[in-house]
Amino acid sequence: MAPRSLPGEALSSWLARFGARYDLSGPGLAMALLRGTERDADDAALHHHLRRLDAAAWPALDRVLASAARLDLSAVEALRRRCSDHWSRVGPPPWCQACVATTAARDGEVHWRAEWMFAFWVICPVHRRLLGRACPLCARDCFARPIAGRLRLWCPACARDVTTQACTRPSLWPLSEPPRSRVCPAIVVDPRLRETLRRMQGDLLHAVSGRRPTGPWGRSSSPERFLEAVRALSFLALAATWHARPSVRRPRTLTPDWSFCEEPPAVVAGALAVVSAVLASAFEPPWPGVAWTPELLRGGETPDIAAGSLCWHLAPDETGLLTRLLPTTLLAYRDAFEQGLAATASVLARNREAARRRAGFGGAQRLRDAQSRRAPPA
Ligand SMILES: [Zn+2]
Ligand SMILES: [Zn+2]
């Protein structure tokens, strides 16, 4: 009763559709199959593996799946592709409602693409919509579950199947939203950001498979350096958009395994927009589509996001992190950041970020004005 895998489908998606035939979730089916063969399989370890199904090799599962589906082992292994562990989302991915509605109208059920498991994949290149987990009717979280032997999207709030429901809400956050309701109130974006995000996520996916980026943010970088630069700057950019989401879990320092794997696309897209502009600013004039919100700017300051202007959003310990990153990972961008750090040190007090957070975002401009009045003339 195993369904055929679809072109570009993620292993976790095929497993979820397979499970739906038996009214089980994907992980539920995997647990049932594994318990038959591995007597001492421990539940905690199984759950950990199941959350990283598309990224980490798991020969025991591949074998039981191949046998249950009457497929060659290589056919199951071939479904696990494109995402390395470091860059893979955990658990079910966010989706493009337009893609889901179109393909489900054809196939009778939901499936998800391997790219959607990639932590930096935030926008659908076909429909130019931000990926998400929201119900197209009520905007609350919904999820895939088996209904009558097929995998469908179910909204608990609407208490209905919303699989083929067209989106009636705006297609990309946060276009034209007032600062208070933006996910990342430090920045404003316009529709050109869609193209930026599409190119950036494409370059990141290429880089994971060893290809050089083609965008103005890293043409000269090796794929490894480019990935590490984006990862490090994303960590810092989250601080710049931090106020919006104090609940974002983030370590204080950049650890080797930190990535966006648990963040929702709206947060990843905000940070990635800042990173794209910052990296491009080392090579080109201001990159269009994203800018600092006017409330943050001092008199005469332009809203362009660049290496220098990212520096004044950072707390002192984060500026230290940036300095440590400069000699190695971010060599190509070093000059731009050094200018930014020098300008920041001459204008802003060391405790500015802590004070800004206490003051709230609306207080940022007043605070910066006061600090620059106190600073000695250059
Ligand atoms: Zn789509
Ligand atoms: Zn709903």
Instruction: Give residue 243 CA to ligand 2 midpoint distance, Å.
Output: 28
Instruction: Give residue 99 CA to ligand 1 midpoint distance, Å.
Output: 4
pLDDT at 361: 37
Instruction: Give residue 111 CA to ligand 1 midpoint distance, Å.
Output: 12
Q: Is the pLDDT of residue 271 over 70?
A: yes
Instruction: For residues 46 and 153, state if they share a domain.
Output: yes
Instruction: For residues 193 and 340, state if they share a domain.
Output: yes
Instruction: For residues 15 and 152, state if they share a domain.
Output: yes
Q: Which residues pair with 44 in a beta bridge?
A: none
Residues contacting residue 152 through CB under 8 Å, at least 6 positions apart: 104, 109, 110, 144, 145, 146, 161, 163
Is 4 inside a domain boundary?
no
Question: DSSP for 182-247?
Answer: -SSTTEEE-TTHHHHHHHHHHHHHHHHTTPPP-STTTTTS-HHHHHHHHHHHHHHHHHHTGGG-TT
Instruction: For residues 61 and 145, state if they share a domain.
Output: yes
Instruction: Give residue 263 CA to ligand 2 midpoint distance, Å.
Output: 22
**Tokens representing 71?**
């497929």
Is 348 inside a domain boundary?
yes
Q: What letters, b where the CB count within 10 A reaches 16 and e where it falls short, cover 318-343?
A: bbebbeebbeebbebbeebbbebbee
Digit-coded pLDDT (tens) for 120-143: 999 999 998 889 998 998 889 999
Q: For residue 102, give the ligand nearest its CA.
A: 1
Instruction: For residues 207 and 354, state if they share a domain.
Output: yes
Is 170 inside a domain boundary?
no
Instruction: Give residue 103 CA to ligand 1 midpoint distance, Å.
Output: 10
Instruction: For residues 243 and 208, state if they share a domain.
Output: yes
Q: Write out the residues surrounding ion ligand 2, Cβ under 5 A.
A: 135, 137-138, 155, 157-158
- Could you give the number of structural domains in the chain? 2
Is 89 inside a domain boundary?
yes
From 353, 342, 348, select the one nearest 316 (Cα to Cα). Answer: 353
Q: Rounded CA gap, 303 and 293, in Å?
A: 7
Instruction: For residues 155 and 191, state if they share a domain.
Output: no
Instruction: Give residue 3 CA to ligand 1 midpoint distance, Å.
Output: 22
Is 172 inside a domain boundary?
no
Instruction: Give residue 131 CA to ligand 1 midpoint distance, Å.
Output: 8
In single-letter form, the type of residue at position 220 comes to S
Return the top range by mean pLDDT from 60-74, 247-261, 354-368: 60-74
HSE value, Cβ hemisphere, 13 Å, CA-based, for 216: 14
Instruction: For residues 209 and 302, state if they share a domain.
Output: yes
Q: For residue 123, give the ligand nearest its CA.
A: 1
Q: Is the pLDDT of residue 182 over 60?
A: yes
Sign of the CA dihedral running 64, 70, 73, 76: negative
Average pLDDT of 136-160? 94
Is 211 inside a domain boundary?
yes
Instruction: Give residue 102 CA to ligand 1 midpoint distance, Å.
Output: 9
Domain encompassing residue 46? 11-161
Final residue of a domain: which of 96, 128, 161?
A: 161
Final residue of a domain: which of 161, 194, 225?
A: 161
pLDDT at 71: 93
pLDDT at 189: 87
Final residue of a domain: which of 108, 133, 161?
A: 161
Is 171 inside a domain boundary?
no
| Secondary-structure percent of the chain, ordered helix, strand, coil, rounded to 5 | 45, 10, 45
Instruction: For residues 34 and 82, state if they share a domain.
Output: yes
Return the top range by mean pLDDT from 180-189, 244-253, 307-316, 329-338: 180-189
pLDDT at 249: 58
Is 6 inside a domain boundary?
no
Residues contacting residue 335 through CB under 8 Å, at least 6 positions apart: 282
Instruction: Give residue 187 CA to ligand 2 midpoint distance, Å.
Output: 29
Instruction: Give residue 189 CA to ligand 2 midpoint distance, Å.
Output: 27
- Residue 299: CB atoms within 10 A of its CB come to 8
Instruction: For residues 347 and 217, state if they share a domain.
Output: yes
Q: For residue 97, give the ligand nearest its CA.
A: 1
Instruction: For residues 136 and 195, state if they share a domain.
Output: no
Question: DSSP for 65-76?
Answer: HHHHHT--HHHH
In single-letter form, the type of residue at position 328 comes to T
Q: For residue 94, give the ligand nearest its CA.
A: 1
Instruction: Give residue 155 CA to ligand 2 midpoint distance, Å.
Output: 5
**Tokens representing 45?**
């370890």
Instruction: For residues 267 and 327, state if they share a domain.
Output: yes
Q: Is the pLDDT of residue 376 over 70?
A: no
Specify the DSSP element, H or E, that contains 4.
none
Instruction: Give residue 230 CA to ligand 2 midpoint distance, Å.
Output: 35
